[in-house]
Amino acid sequence: MRKFTQVATLLCAACLSIGVRAQDTTAAPSVGMPVPPAKPASMDQPLDVHAAIPLWPNGAPGAVGKADPDIPTVAVYLPAANPTHTAIVVAPGGGYAHLAMDHEGLQVAQWLNAHGVAAVVLKYRLGPTYHHPIELGDAQRAVRYVRSHAAQMGISPDHVGMLGFSAGGHLTASTGTMFDSGNPSAEDPIDRVSSRPDFLVLCYPVISMEQGVAHEGSVKYLLGDAPTAEQRSSMSADERVTAQTPPTFLWSTTDDAVVPVMNSVLFYQALLKNKVSAELHIFPHGRHGLGLAQTVPEVNAWPDLLYAWLRVNGWAL
């Protein structure tokens, strides 16, 4: 309850919209999907567009089997043109128990492509088989993978963002607050590069693991049946924000009945405290799990607001 009291004044009864609202209406480049020949395991070969590429070709650390749920992958979606050389890792939600790979994965990748941005959809491992830090390791590896394959994707290694929905938003926020610069002496060249995203996009995200504001299903599948207070605190992304946290775009709805809107507010407040560039949009109505929300008039402006934010910051044109 303490957190609710501290930030309750940030909410209004209808809609809170904070940050840049760009008004440029230049048309986005058309989408196209060139498919080069591929050998994704080798960094000197073209990438296989749309294929599920294992993040660790020889087996993922901590894997308990060799079935599909034990193999974290990425699928690369390239636009016809990418004038800002930007790529975004997309983390679908699902409470750390399943993945909404269509409306929070594929559809988002297609939307990004249509706006001249490369997309890389992440399939990360899930509970109850896997708990933290496995999911975070998968996400960090995805960012490193994209950055180390920048030349093959036609992107810039300093234009690698991450976008997540719901529990995928928690994973995205965790990746943006729990990163490292890479190990220059690592045998695997992918592990030599930074896991820090250059920017974050958080869509109705799970942020806090603290009782009273947490989505308890995500807590259970990420941390197990009986997480300690210390574990809950350590995985509350708002408590890990620093001045090095990447610039962030957030949106949520006031009447989200699954993940309380206070999650977004807490992260935004932490960003402000640490002087990190941020933009927050809270819509008055809209159920949880809307994805692009194209058929929901109350919320369907959010992709345009995101596009404006990306343009203002040089990550889209």
Whether 154 is covered by a domain: the verdict is yes
Structure tokens at 96: 């750390």
Interatomic CA distance for residues 33 and 78, integer angstroms: 6
3-state secondary structure (DSSP) of residue 6: helix
In the predicted model, is pLDDT for residue 9 greater than 50?
no
User: Using alpha carbons only, what angle is made at residue 101 by residues 97 and 102, rounded to the nearest 5 degrees?
Assistant: 140
Whether 29 is covered by a domain: the verdict is no
- Sequence-separated contacts (24+) of 14-18 with Cβ below 8 Å: 14/254, 14/284, 15/254, 15/281, 15/282, 15/283, 15/284, 16/280, 16/281, 16/282, 17/280, 17/281, 17/282, 17/305, 18/268, 18/278, 18/279, 18/280, 18/281
Interatomic CA distance for residues 115 and 311, integer angstroms: 10
Domain of 118? 80-312
- pLDDT at position 44 is 54
Interatomic CA distance for residues 114 and 116, integer angstroms: 6
Report the chain's mean pLDDT, rounded to a whole number.
89
Q: Compute the average pLDDT of residues 219-239.
A: 98
- pLDDT at position 43 is 55
At 89-124, the pLDDT tens digits run 999 999 999 999 999 999 999 999 999 999 999 999
Q: Compute the average pLDDT of residues 260-278.
A: 98
Interatomic CA distance for residues 144 and 198, integer angstroms: 12
Interatomic CA distance for residues 139 and 303, integer angstroms: 23
- Residues in the chain, how many? 317
Whether 181 is covered by a domain: the verdict is yes
78 and 121 in contact (C-beta within 8 Å)? no
Q: Compute the average pLDDT of residues 132-152.
A: 98
List of residues 6+ apart from 10 with CB closer than 8 A: 16, 265, 268, 269
Question: What is the domain count for the chain?
Answer: 1
Instruction: Indicate which CATH number applies to the domain containing 234.
Output: 3.40.50.1820
In the predicted model, is pLDDT for residue 80 greater than 60?
yes
- pLDDT at position 227 is 97
| Pick from 89, 95, 100, 253: nearest CA to 175 | 89
Choose between 34 and 266: higher pLDDT: 266
Whether 267 is covered by a domain: the verdict is yes
- pLDDT at position 50 is 84
Residue spans of alpha helices (H) in 149-290: 150-153, 167-177, 216-223, 229-234, 262-273
Interatomic CA distance for residues 236 and 285, integer angstroms: 25
At 283-296, the pLDDT tens digits run 999 999 999 999 99
3-state secondary structure (DSSP) of residue 129: coil
Name the percent of the chain lying above pLDDT 90.
84
Interatomic CA distance for residues 206 and 170, integer angstroms: 5
In the predicted model, is pLDDT for residue 35 greater than 80?
no
Whether 13 is covered by a domain: the verdict is no
Whether 36 is covered by a domain: the verdict is no
In the predicted model, is pLDDT for residue 155 greater than 70?
yes
Interatomic CA distance for residues 289 and 93, integer angstroms: 8
Whether 14 is covered by a domain: the verdict is no
- pLDDT at position 45 is 61
**Other CB atoms closer than 10 Å to residue 277's CB: what's the count?**
16
- pLDDT at position 125 is 98
Least confident span in 28-32, 38-42, 99-103, 172-176: 28-32
- pLDDT at position 28 is 34
- pLDDT at position 46 is 62
At 22-34, the pLDDT tens digits run 333 333 333 333 3
DSSP H or E run through 35: none
In the predicted model, is pLDDT for residue 51 greater than 70?
yes
List of residues 6+ apart from 50 with CB closer than 8 A: 33, 35, 75, 76, 77
Q: Compute the average pLDDT of residues 38-61.
A: 74
- pLDDT at position 188 is 97
pLDDT category, 302, cuts 50, 70, 90? very high
Residue carrying structure tokens 């269509």: 102
- pLDDT at position 37 is 28
Choose between 31 and 1: higher pLDDT: 1
Interatomic CA distance for residues 144 and 150, integer angstroms: 10
pLDDT category, 39, cuts 50, 70, 90? very low
Q: Compute the average pLDDT of residues 63-67.
A: 97
Whether 128 is covered by a domain: the verdict is yes
